[in-house]
Amino acid sequence: MNDAILLFDYDGTVRLGYEHATHYARLVASNLDAADERAFLAAHAAFCAGKPTTASTFDAYDADNAVRRLAGEYGVDDLIRAEAYAETRKRMAAGEFDIWAPKGFPEFIWSLPRGIEVALATNAPASSLEPALERLGLDGLFDHVIGDAGKPESMDSIIDELLEERPAEALLSIGDIPRNDLAPAADRGCATAYIDHYGRPWPRATVSAASLEELYPFIHRWVTERTA
């Protein structure tokens, strides 16, 4: 049994880019009248530019969540929105949108000491992950890949399965959405690394940074302390 576990989020953590979310927003907004469609897309674009203009997007987690919140604000049926999300993820898996991994991420993982497990857990559809990870150059990097995860509700069971008999201190959860990726782990006594894309501090994080690349030194130290 390995001595340390790294649990990574996917969207906004190891998979970057929001071109797909613009397409998602357009699909959802196309169900509105012309004036509301323009307002919906303008609000989403403002969020993606880091300058949210509406109450529904001000606290959005990421560009996809901003679409979900705007859909609720404008009264788009959730089934229609969900179908637009699924269609967008299929197109992402087919290579239609620009996505990328954090600079040097595969090399960083391979440089870590032996005796670690590397896991990925995401609410993204499981069927979309394999082709996307291959495009990102991340295929084969993770010991466990969990799609359709149902975070945050599922995080306790995911953590239980990864830890087996190990203490909570053996797991470091890394992600950009505290509610989904970090709070359940922190509640268990696990370490957490927060990627704060939008300047929204989360005081409970063990460490915070604006990008995953900035967290590499901390992750390396954390792993080394547990595998020495």
C-alpha triplet 133, 136, 137: angle, nearest 5°: 90
Place of tokens 């859909």: 71
Please, what's the largest Cα pairwise distance for the chain? 61
Which residues lie closer than 8 Å to 122 by C-beta, 6 or more apart?
9, 10, 11, 129, 146, 147, 149, 151
Rounded CA-CA distance 32/180 in Å is 30
Q: Distances from the Cα of 200 to the Cαs of 48, 66, 157, 165, 185, in angstroms?
A: 15, 15, 27, 34, 19
Residue 204: band (very low, low, confident or very high) from pLDDT cuts 50, 70, 90? very high
Q: Kind and range of the H or E element at 22?
A: helix 19-29
Residue 181: band (very low, low, confident or very high) from pLDDT cuts 50, 70, 90? very high
Cβ(178)–Cβ(204) under 8 Å? yes
pTM for this prediction: 0.92
Residue 174 has pLDDT above 70, yes or no: yes
Mean pLDDT for 196-212 is: 94
Instruction: Tell how far CA 203 is from the center of its chain.
Output: 19
AA identity, residue 131:
P
Question: Token digits for 63?
Answer: 């560009």
Q: What is the pLDDT of residue 59?
A: 85
Q: Distances from the Cα of 169 to the Cαs of 19, 156, 161, in angstroms?
A: 37, 14, 15
Residue 20: band (very low, low, confident or very high) from pLDDT cuts 50, 70, 90? very high
Q: Distances from the Cα of 15 to the Cαs of 75, 134, 138, in angstroms?
A: 30, 11, 10
In this predicted model, what pLDDT tens digit does every residue of 70-107 receive, in sequence order? 999 999 999 999 999 999 999 999 999 999 999 999 99
Residue 186 has pLDDT above 80, yes or no: yes
Mean pLDDT for 109-116 is: 91
Q: What is the pLDDT of residue 200?
A: 87
Mean pLDDT for 54-67 is: 91
Three-state DSSP string of 34-89: HHHHHHHHHHHHHHHCCCCCCHHHHCCCCHHHHHHHHHHHCCCCHHHHHHHHHHHH
Instruction: Tell how far CA 197 is from the center of its chain.
Output: 11
41 or 199: which carries more pLDDT confidence? 41
Residue 3 has pLDDT above 90, yes or no: no
Q: What's the whole-number average pLDDT of the chain?
A: 95
Q: What is the pLDDT of residue 131?
A: 94
Cβ(115)–Cβ(28) under 8 Å? no
Cβ(118)–Cβ(44) under 8 Å? no
Residue 141 has pLDDT above 80, yes or no: yes
Q: What is the pLDDT of residue 1?
A: 58
φ, ψ (nearest 5 deg) of residue 5:
-130, 130
Residue 228 has pLDDT above 80, yes or no: no
